[in-house]
Structure 1
Amino acid sequence: MAGITSADVARESGVSRTTVSYVLTGREGVTISEETRRRVRETAVRLGYAPSAAARALRTGRSDLVLCILPDWPVGPVMETLLDELADELSGRGLSVLVHHGRRTRPLADLWRAVTPRAVIGFAPFADEDLLMMRQAGIQVLGTLGEDHRPDEDGPSETQLAIGDLQARHLAAGGARRLGYAWPTDRRLEDFARDRLLGVQRACVDLGLSEPVVHPVALDVPAATAVRGWRDQGVTGVTAYNDDVALAVLAGLRAEELSCPGDIRVVGVDDVPAAALAAPALTTVAQSIEVQARYLAALVLADLDGSEEKPSPPGPGLRLVERESG
């Protein structure tokens, strides 16, 4: 069965297609009676008419999409929550979120030219050429911190530094004098892991502690080898890259018949659902993902509205969730 078109709505309502378009798009500055508006809307609902996004894009030169460009990162609960919250925030303005994972298999220009987005959010730096081309095409381009994302932004992330710092200071405050760091084996996470480790290292220097002992931890086996290394080097507190890595560390402690927190305390990052169900329940650093999503949405809308007043960054919004492991 063919889809319902605006012509069907116009015919059933007894008005022109132009009037239907004006009513359903909320066009201002056009004199249309409230009775006619009501009749058109009720007819559209009764017939099940949905405006064509493709037709709207052809008409305006832009779709109602906000394109999110993710690097080749594993997408876990935190990123899923961020994208879901962002989609919810933007839906109130009739915008939809399209997520693209960069695999470097085709030029970025092929993608944005195909979907004609209203805005592009980069979760990693854009090349100068890509940034210039999108700007010239009239596309709003934002980085995750609100600035144009450029390849020369290679300094450590303040948020990632703060995560490692919070983990280390919590363990030290509980009496741990030698810390370990559980490094993820997924190479796609190295940038984040490096910055979080740097935060731990800086905290150790500030607190007068030795350099943290780093061991790689895979997710598919208990981290028994790493645990033995930490035990032999006198480590009593482990800062894990994230909760998944921390859960592998807890499994390694059980395999080596060591107790947590008695022998080694463990702190993760992200507060995933499994963290509260672990044995022992995992102490972790939670991030205010909802706040970050609202900030990103506000940046997009401020740019699209041409507002000179931009929302202020909310800060990392980190908090420690204390449980039994640490």
Structure 2
Amino acid sequence: MSDGRRVTSADVAREAGVSRATVSYVLNAVPHQKIPEATRQRVWEAADRLGYAPSAAARALRTGRSEIVLGLLPDWPIEHVLGHLIQQLTNAFAEHGLTFVVHSSSHPARPLRDIWKTMTPAAVLALQDFADPEAEAMRAAGIEVVMAMHGAAAPDGEAQSPLVSEQPIGALQARHLAGPHRRLGYAYPDLPGLDVLAQPRLDGVRKACAELGFPEPDVRTVPLDGAGAAEAVRGWLAADPPVTGVCAFNDDIALAVLAGLHHLGLRAPRDLAVIGVDDIPTASLAQPPLTTVARDTAVIARGLARRVVDALQGRETLAAPVRDELLIRVRESA
């Protein structure tokens, strides 16, 4: 076509010498149609020559849903781990013929309701929980699957288990430090939006401490600056009994703790052992190199995609969280 207009199925039908219905049956793989293989091949070749791309909007009208999975991002920094997870979710959904599109709620983004009403996705996957009325409105509008990684209300109003559990991370951190350390601290992030991740990780540390017979962990909020982190370090070292090992919410917070130690002329692990989460690229470059918990985000992405696809196809979905193997990268900070 040379007039700049969009190629239509009527153009493909004329090029192939068949009806528009035949084009529709072939290109949409409609079952139980007795169309000769030679005719099918002629239609595909005509579509290829003309550069025909089926309309996603028309397909959505015909099938009742789009092939889009809308990913809702909370107001978090999109850094190494989250960016990597988004890439892997995109790939995992593509394997099932679905397109993963993300929307961030950070200000001044358009309201969430405007987004899903415009896109009419087949499913919504939120990294953070959203209000029950919003989920109910989505389902009422025909969005078949509404899921949240860290728990959301089901259609019957009952709370669902998180699709991805954070508690095992905190428990693993605490158990790694438990050998030489009997009093643990927890370095909590100073960004309230991260509570959905930080609180269950802290719960994991608390549970492990209780099982080990340790005191309750000493929880302190650690800002991402050396002077502020130094105040938290002073508090841990002045506690009775003093904290000798710290489980940090993630590697960024752990690096802040290391900066706080440096600010006071101290060093890990001699004065305070530190363990992070995520194994970001700079973890191995820290001074000292940071011990951290690494996650297999590819396994998480494939597991989440599988849950969404199963739900879309009406299959029973697993109640247990997606399981990913946790590994400790042992370095010199702990």
- TM-score, length of structure 1 as denominator length: 0.86
Is the CA contact 1:67–1:100 (under 8 Å) kept in the aligned structure 2? yes
**For the aligned residues, what is the CA RMSD?**
3.0
1:134 corresponds in structure 2 to: 138
SS at structure 2 position matched to 1:63: coil
8 A Cα contact 1:142 1:149, kept in partner: no
Unmatched 5+ residue regions in structure 2? none
Q: Assess if the C-alpha contact under 8 Å between 2:163 and 2:321 holds in 1.
A: no
| Whole-angstrom distance in 2 between the partners of 1:141 and 1:77 | 28
Q: TM-score, normalised by structure 2?
A: 0.84
After superposition, the C-alpha distances for 1:224-247 in whole angstroms (9 at most, x for unaligned) are 232233333332211111011111
SS in 1 for 2:6: coil
- The CA distance in 1 between the partners of 2:313 and 2:218, in whole Å, is 50
Give the aligned partner of residue 49 of structure 1. 52
Instruction: Name the structure 1 match of 2:209.
Output: 204
Give 5+ residue unaligned stretches, structure 1.
none
Contact 2:126-2:149 within 8 A present in 1 as well: no
* Identical columns (%): 50
CA separation of 1:45/1:325 partners in 2, compared to 1, >3 Å: closer, same or farther? farther
How far 1:135 sits from its partner (Å)? 3.0
Taking the aligned partners of 1:158 and 1:205, their CA distance within structure 2 comes to 23
Give secondary structure in 2 for the equivalent of 1:121: strand
Q: Which amino acid aligns with 2:75?
A: D
Compared CA separation, residues 152 and 228, structure 1 to 2 (3 A): farther
Report the Cα distance in structure 2 between the residues aligned to 1:200 and 1:115, rounded to whole angstroms: 41
* Equivalent-residue separation in structure 2 for 1:235 and 1:147 (angstroms): 33
Q: Does 1:11 align with 2:14?
A: yes
CA pair 264-75 structure 1, distance change in 2 beyond 3 A: same
2:152·2:159 contact (CA, 8 Å) conserved in 1?
Answer: no
Matched length: 325
In structure 2, relative to structure 1, the CA distance for the partners of 1:110 and 1:221 (3 Å cut) is same
2-structure distance, mates of 1:95, 1:212: 44
Shift of 1:278: 2.1
For 1:29, give the aligned amino acid: H
Q: 1:88 to 1:31 in 2, by over 3 A?
A: same
SS at match of 2:331: coil
Q: In the TM superposition, what is the alpha-carbon distance from 1:64 to its structure 2 partner?
A: 1.1
SS of equivalent residue, structure 1 residue 159: coil
- How does 1:294-309 map onto structure 2 within 5 Å? 294-308=302-316
Counterpart of 1:262 in structure 2 is 270
Identify which of 247, 260, 270 aligns with 1:239: 247
Question: Secondary structure at 2:178's aligned position in 1?
Answer: helix
- Name the structure 1 match of 2:219: 214
Per-residue CA deviation, residues 99-144 of structure 1 (Å, 9 max, x unaligned), is 2234698765443322111122233444443333333343222434
- CA distance in 2 between counterparts of 1:115 and 1:265 reads 48
Please state if 1:94 is matched with 2:102: no
**Cα pair 1:157 1:195 within 8 Å, conserved:** no
Deviation at 1:23, TM superposition (A): 1.8
